[in-house]
A and B are shown apart, each in its own frame.
Chain A
Amino acid sequence: NAGVTQTPKFRVLKTGQSMTLLCAQDMNHEYMYWYRQDPGMGLRLIHYSVGEGTTAKGEVPDGYNVSRLKKQNFLLGLESAAPSQTSVYFCASSLTGTGGRSPLHFGNGTRLTVT
């Protein structure tokens, strides 16, 4: 099993450009999440999904959109990239919600730089 796979691993964008980060999991997990990690700050939740066809806002959703058309995939979109979105992005999945004891399984991250 591959677990959680993210693409791309690295990307450089110019301000105003758009892109989509792809996340796929093969563990049949219901819950999927997008986090960003910045120096000196803990991982922060951008958006999450509790099942196919559902999405919800997390802690820092502005400037991002998501879609979960298939259970195994969770896409994160940046419509008009800004330098403040320079970060490392992690996708994660869990069997049940994070309110319980279900651990998060992370992808290996996408390093995004916006110039």
Chain B
Amino acid sequence: RKEVEQDPGPFNVPEGATVAFNCTYSNSASQSFFWYRQDCRKEPKLLMSVYSSGNEDGRFTAQLNRASQYISLLIRDSKLSDSATYLCVVNNPGGYQKVTFGTGTKLQVIP
């Protein structure tokens, strides 16, 4: 099993739609979780951290399910500008300065 797995997509959704991505992780000891956004041929940028209780930032909601070892990202009222690849990032505890990146889920919002 991969350390971090994401559905690569692409997810093609119309403007205004709600879309959700899941990301599963294998290390039950992982403590920190993030969603990054990466535009085509650009660097990744932090979208939001994921907290145990779930957190929301405008149209974006992130949730953590420790029992099933996955995190999710929900985007409401999709905009054309949301088109990007969304990277799931999970830390690997144990003293090693390493987080594991998922391969990303591509979202295309269609007019």
Contacts and interface: CB of A to CB of B under 8 A. Distances in A.
Given A43-B101, A104-B44, 16 more contacts: A31-B97, A40-B103, A42-B4, A42-B103, A44-B101, A48-B97, A90-B43, A98-B91, A98-B98, A99-B93, A99-B97, A100-B32, A100-B91, A101-B32, A107-B43, A109-B41
Interface string A31-62: 10100000011111100101000001011000
A42 B44 contact: no
Interface SS majority for chain A:
loop
Contacts, number: 58
Contact of A98 (B43, B45, B99, B104): B99
Contacts of B31: 99
Q: How large is the interface on A (under 10, 10 to 19, 20 to 34, 35 or more residues)?
A: 20 to 34
A100 to B, nearest CB: 6
Interface in B1-59: 4, 31-32, 34, 36, 41-46, 49
B103 A97 contact: no
B43 A42 contact: no
